[in-house]
Amino acid sequence: MNKKKIRYLGCTGAGILALLLADQYTKYLAQEYLKDQADIIWIPQVFQLHYLENRGAAFGLLQNQKFIFLALCALFLCAAFLFLLQMPATSRYIPLYFIAAGLSAGAAGNGIDRILYGYVIDFFYFSLIDFPVFNMADIYVTVSGFLLILYVCFVYREEDFAFMQRRKS
């Protein structure tokens, strides 16, 4: 592995760590200041901070299926790690390094919650549209997933992913 690749991986790892720390810190704050307290209204009838212990996925799907979520998280993180190892260390792929960092930090952030507490701490709530309560890790996954779709559909071509092809011996 060359120095440039090590630098790209190091920066991606630092990004994952920074995002993960921000996610865990905001969840700590939510636990400390929102749990068993009245909601904090930021914009009346639009946005508020509301503490929620989510034992399922979005919209309450798969309640109390901790093992399934942890297995999927571990599988995703392994796949992301292998993808990062194979991806070329060129400026063309910098957006994908950022996207992989966001997806990985989001998966790991919610995975940590499930390991530590058995549930995910959510606290952002858009009451105007009664949107499911969410957290920073959910934002990382949503934004990164959206960017991944945009980049794959409009920026990268099939040959840009040739590095993922199995090498024949």
pLDDT tens-digit series, residues 78-131: 999 999 999 999 999 999 999 999 999 999 999 999 999 999 999 999 999 999
Of 36, 113, 130, 138, the catalytic one is: 138
Q: Is the pLDDT assigned to residue 59 strictly greater than 70?
A: no
**What would the pLDDT profile of 142-158 be if each residue is shown by its tens digit?**
999 999 999 999 999 99
> Could you tell me the two tokens for 52?
């929620």
113 is catalytic: no
Spatial distance between the Cα atoms of 62 and 150, rounded to a whole number of angstroms: 28
CA distances for 94 relative to 9, 22, 152, 159, 165, angstroms = 11, 22, 13, 17, 20
Distance separating alpha carbons of residues 28 and 68, to the nearest angstrom: 24
Q: Give the lowest-confidence range in 22-26, 113-117, 164-168.
A: 164-168
Q: Which of 23, 39, 122, 160 is catalytic?
A: 122
Residue 39 is a catalytic residue:
no
